[in-house]
Amino acid sequence: MKLKIKVGDEVQVITGGDKGKKGAVLEILPFKQKIRVKNVRVQTNFDKEKGIQKMEGLIDYSNVKLVKSAEPKPYKKSKKQALKK
C-alpha cells in the first residue's frame, strides 16, 4: 500500500499519549502501517555492551498528520539525455 507520508516529512501526532508533538519521519513500514517519528514514543532499551539507550518506538500511520513535506531530491539526468542535447 502506498502511503502519503515519506521519510523526512514533518508530521504531528493527533492522538495518543504524545498528542501534539511534531517530528521528522525516520522510518516507514508500509505493510504494517507503522512509522517511526523523531522524539515521539521514546523507549529505553538496555544492552550489556552499550548500556541504556533511548530510541523511538513505532506508532500507527493513522495517528499522525502531515505538517510539512520534505524537499524533493534534485532530478539527476542520465548520460543518454545529456548526449541527445
Per-residue pLDDT tens listing for the chain (85 residues): 788 999 999 999 999 999 999 999 999 999 999 999 999 999 999 999 999 999 999 999 999 999 998 877 777 777 776 666 6
In-domain check, residue 43: yes
pLDDT value at residue 23: 96
pLDDT value at residue 21: 96
In-domain check, residue 46: yes
In-domain check, residue 54: yes
Residue 21 domain boundaries: 10-71
For residue 17, the domain's CATH number is: 2.30.30.30
Domain tally, the chain: 1
Q: Which strands make up the sheet holding 64-68, listed edge to edge?
A: 58-60, 34-37, 22-29, 10-13, 64-68
- Our measurement of the distance from residue 83's CA atom to the centroid of its chain's CA atoms, rounded to an integer in Å, reads 38
C-alpha–C-alpha distance, residues 61 and 31, integer Å: 11
Beta bridge partners of 50: none
pLDDT value at residue 71: 79
Query: Sign of the CA dihedral 72, 2, 36, 45?
Result: negative
In-domain check, residue 55: yes
72 DSSP assignment: P
